[in-house]
Chains A and B, each alone.
Chain A
Amino acid sequence: MDTETIAAVATAMSSSGISIVRISGDNALTVADKVFRMKGSCKSLYDVKSHTIHYGFLYEGEEILDEVMVSVMRAPKSYTTEDTVEINCHGGVLLTNRVLELVLQNGARLAQPGEFTKRAFLHGRIDLTEAEAVMDLIQSQSSLALRSSLCQLQGSVSSYIKELREKILYEVAFIESALDDPEHISLEGYPDRLSKVLDTVIGKLDELIKNADQGRIMREGIRTVILGKPNAGKSSLLNFLAGEERAIVTDIAGTTRDTVEETIRIGEIGLHVIDTAGIRLTEDVVERIGVEKALRAAESADLILYVMDSSVDFDENDRIILNSIEKKNVVILLNKSDLPPVITKEMLCTAYRLAYPIVVCSIKSKEGLDNLYEILRQEFFHGTVSFENEVYLTNLRHKKAVSEARESLEMVKKSISLAMPEDLYTIDLMSAYSALGRIVGEEVGEDLIDEIFSKFCMGK
């Protein structure tokens, strides 16, 4: 069907020492042969054994471009199951790009994002969760997310979900066989037994759902919104976190009228930070839109960094902010510790009864901000950032499917409590079974395929 030869840089574009350019498809060896000459030999790559690596030079015309190692993996024993050549060249964005260009000039076309994985999946090399994990891998933005993606790749989610599905299927089979053969299989006392099984399975699904947010946080970073009154130092905080002048910082209140986004890493934690307009009651139409937008952003945030200017008194605007962030994860940054304080940490705790963690700091002089990282670890990873043995859903679709399955199992429990006939249980049991099946690709829903295609940039 689709055996065009494709190529792309397989490693992250960075200034690292070695980069890999991967070529896959029917003509992978032909393409590589055109540009690669083995040292001290005139052998073609067609003459070498599969899964071997060779030293030599890349030639652009008669000129040597780079000194490289080339590995050859013949179909079907490669990631894509097609003939695959990987060129290990010297790193650096510029040189790597020239190597890729050279390959493209010699008969390969540039691979679309995820295309290697798509081929692997379509050739039955990997199942859906694994494919999606690979896609997540491509998209993962922090090292923690990377580790979880790898873990999922090894099939831990698959096997966990498969186990739960088996449990459900067993119950369906039991009910069905009792319907077919009432003489030999009795359903007496069965509802109670089923109820217990359901509790166990629902508990496990709950665990998955609970952890799913952590999974998403790992992949996408903590959705962080910076809130505060105008000129409290929000944009300065973003710039500090991002390490560059991103938002316009002035002494004029109300400078940021829209939201500004940035992805940042603090240690091993990824933050997806949104800076917002200062919150205040205002007549200015444009500014008011900014304020509304800020409050909306806060609604869907995992974390709110509430920047307060300690040199300005608590007022109506603070109240608006506090009302809008109730029940959220909030860290208060009591900024401008270098100025004479009007409000203090103690006042916030006692007079205003705020139970949020409070960091007293001066963003301008970069003082007191070390505590922030510690607090984030506490808030989001229960103190320990450990991902070795746990199963996480990093995909929103998976989380939705698990929630659906859970809902269906609750329906079964409801049927049991209403003393409905047993043959009705299987409707919802089967719904739960299919929902979970969609996660591991054992049930092919049309919607899923559509989603995958759009992610794979199909349709061209």
Chain B
Amino acid sequence: MPGIREKVDVCVIGAGHAGCEAALACARLGLETVIFMVSVDSIALMPCNPNIGGSSKGHLVRELDALGGEMGKNIDKTFIQSKMLNLSKGPAVHSLRAQADKADYTREMRRVIENQEHLTVKQTEVCRILTKDIADKEGIFEKEAIGVVTFTGAVYESRAVILCTGTYLNARCLCGEAISYTGPNGLQAATHLTDSLKELGIKTRRFKTGTPARMDKRSLDFSKMEIQWGSERVVPFSFSTDPETVQIEQVPCYLTYTNEKTHEIIRNNLDRSPIYAGIIEGTGPRYCPSIEDKVVKFADKSRHQVFIEPEGLHTNEMYVGGMSSSLPEDVQLSMYRSVPGLEHCKIVRNAYAIEYDCIDAVQLRPTLEFKKIRGLFSGGQINGSSGYEEAAAQGLIAGINAAMEILGREPFVLDRSEAYIGVLIDDLVTKETQEPYRMMTSRAEYRLLLRQDNADLRLREKGYRIGLVSEEAYRKVCRKRELIEEEIDRLKHTSIGASAENQKFMEDCQSAPIRSGTNLAELMCRPELSYEKLRKIDTERKPLPDDVICQVEIEIKYEGYIARQLRQVEQYKKMEKKTIPENLDYDKIPSLRTEARQKLAAYRPVSVGQASRISGVSPADISVLLVFLEHYNREEKKKSDGL
């Protein structure tokens, strides 16, 4: 068949938050990359909430930024309000969230994508993945991705293909009884690719998610709502952004509540909800529930929060956070109008639920490459996650690993003790998630180490080694580390005398008197004291940047906790380091219970640690596996010694 034939290094299918990061990573590493989307206008679209970050999602963005991703920089350029959440809690759960001007966000990312060297933008639907069989099987790879075919028949040969299809595969949107076969925001759905994936033996399933209504600002009564401002001093998402450039004039959000009347309207119309009426087959996220779900799940709660947030500076549309729904239009209207401040609301866009095809991510390696198909990677909502940040993080990792493979370099995997990104991907590829996966602080076991404030200290160097972080940025974090260590050292070795003046100071701070020989670090550990408060008696102090002081404070105040968490990590790493041969024949381990044997054979975990997190594999099975590997490794060693 005649048609266009092109040769590139990488094909990225989809230009949402995952696709953008994947494509940028590949192109920035020097690979000829083409990014496909059904509409150029939908690049980095935010079809749901108008924010980036939030509890634990903020961590993902900062980590992604430390590794050299784009999302953090993009939101720093386009936010209209920013807030550090959970400041009343410990530093591990502080999280950044910014309101985006959606149109600006999309436009800015599109500008970056369009101007990236080695990156080509192509508006077309990809219908088929081209593969060839691998003749001499190595490991468990059976096939190799060699390109894609578009709707118009064009063939793009490539060395890697990255799936970032988001919610577009066989998408349909539901607003009560009204169903349209479109992707988010009325965009064209991708209706061919799922079949191609199935032909490749990839298991797919159906998930759903939803979004609330958008309202005309002029129809709302803000006097009945609580006003919500951002933080006074804005912390940028990106470690490359100069903090002074983000101290902008911010716009407010608003908080109101549902009430018994709202709930009654919902309860009376549940039979008209496509989910409760059984029209939707997809499973929805428990942690980002629709208002119907909340009313059913928390039947005893008399109210739920509703956040009214601007969608941008140049639009009157307001997002109604906390009230996503798939109820019919008429029910929606009366439901929303029962909420204080929304009595006369005019709905610009109805709330709707969207159902789409995604894959079972346990078919992927921790590199996000398919276990059985070399060169085929998958990142974002197609992997069963939810959220822009989760998508972007996966997109970046998929992009990096596609590049690493093509360049013949070591794969890049973050583990659970290194980053939220590591937790996210490990969970996705190890645990069978029955609903869209949302990042949460509780999922990270070692969260005191994985703070949003130290993402650069954790990951900058890795980003630099990959080649996505500049030498300058890397040097900056090295310098920062030095400053932190020097200052901690100084505080630990600066004794404070028990002079009358100092005791008076302690009294003023409502702190116990000092015994002679006490050092500044010890004083900082007292709950009532802080680095800032000690300024008066710490006369030798030199001025330091805010981010350095923040690290010094946390490392001293929580030293014991950090040390204990590090010990837990040590334990964890022991099991992660016990690798399992990829093509291990589990049938040769008769002592495993049948369920465990089947699971292990299907999942092919890379380490004993990962094996232990697979549901259906018991501690006794792990012991058996350890015994076997001990034996196996000895035999292998004997063999290699014999050669």
Contacts and interface: CB of A to CB of B under 8 A. Distances in A.
Contacts of A445: 571
B627 interface: yes
A427 B565 contact: yes
B568 A121 contact: no
Contact of B620 (A124, A179, A453): A124
Interface stretch (A100-108, A265-273, A275-283, A436-444): A436-444
A431 B568 contact: yes
Contact of A179 (B442, B527, B618): B442
A122 interface: yes
Chain B's interface size range is 35 or more
A420 B90 contact: yes
Given A121-B620, A423-B93, A449 B626 contact: yes
Contacts of B536: none
B633 interface: no
B31 to A, nearest CB: 39
A434 B619 CA distance: 12
Interface string A400-433: 0000000000010000001111111001101100
B187 interface: no
Nearest to A419: B527
A94 interface: no
Contacts of A449: 623, 626-627
Nearest to A181: B287
B619 A443 contact: yes
Interface string B290-310: 000000001001001100000
Interface stretch (B124-132, B263-271, B585-593): B585-593
Interface in B551-582: 558, 560-561, 564-565, 568, 571, 574-575, 578
A232 to B, nearest CB: 50
A123 interface: yes
Contacts of A179: 55, 89, 93, 440-442
B612 interface: yes
B90 A424 contact: yes
B622 interface: yes
A67 interface: no
A446 B574 contact: yes
B591 A122 contact: yes
B351 interface: no
Contacts of A124: 591-593, 618, 620-621, 624
Contacts of A427: 448, 561, 564-565, 568
A180 interface: yes
B334 to A, nearest CB: 24
A123 B564 contact: no
B626 A444 contact: yes
A353 interface: no
A419 B93 CA distance: 16
Contacts of B440: 179-180
Contacts of B560: 411
Given A127-B620, A180-B442, A184-B301, A423 B564 contact: no
A78 to B, nearest CB: 14
A421 B591 contact: no
A422 B89 contact: yes
Contacts of A159: none
Contacts of B631: 1
B92 interface: yes
A176 interface: yes
B620 A1 contact: no
A11 interface: no
Contacts of A421: 88-90, 93
A122 B623 contact: yes
B229 interface: no
A446 B564 CA distance: 18
A1 B442 contact: no
A419 B89 CA distance: 11
B415 interface: no
A98 to B, nearest CB: 33
A430 B444 CA distance: 12
Contacts of A441: 619-620, 623
Nearest to A125: B620
A121 B623 contact: yes
Nearest to A3: B590
B212 to A, nearest CB: 15
B445 interface: yes
Q: Identify the interface centre among B305, B527, B558, B623: most chain A CB within 10 Å of its CB.
A: B623
Nearest to B589: A1
A418 B590 CA distance: 52
29 contacts: A1-B628, A1-B631, A3-B590, A121-B623, A124-B593, A124-B621, A124-B624, A177-B442, A179-B440, A179-B442, A180-B440, A180-B442, A411-B560, A418-B527, A421-B88, A421-B89, A421-B90, A423-B93, A423-B441, A424-B90, A427-B448, A427-B561, A427-B564, A434-B571, A442-B619, A444-B575, A449-B623, A452-B623, A453-B627
Q: What 10 pairs between A and B have smallest CB-CB spacing? A: A421-B90, A176-B442, A423-B90, A122-B591, A124-B620, A444-B622, A180-B440, A421-B89, A446-B574, A444-B619
Given A121-B620, A184-B301, A427-B564, 19 more contacts: A122-B623, A124-B620, A177-B442, A179-B89, A179-B440, A180-B55, A180-B440, A183-B304, A411-B560, A421-B90, A423-B93, A423-B441, A424-B90, A424-B561, A430-B568, A431-B568, A441-B619, A441-B623, A446-B626
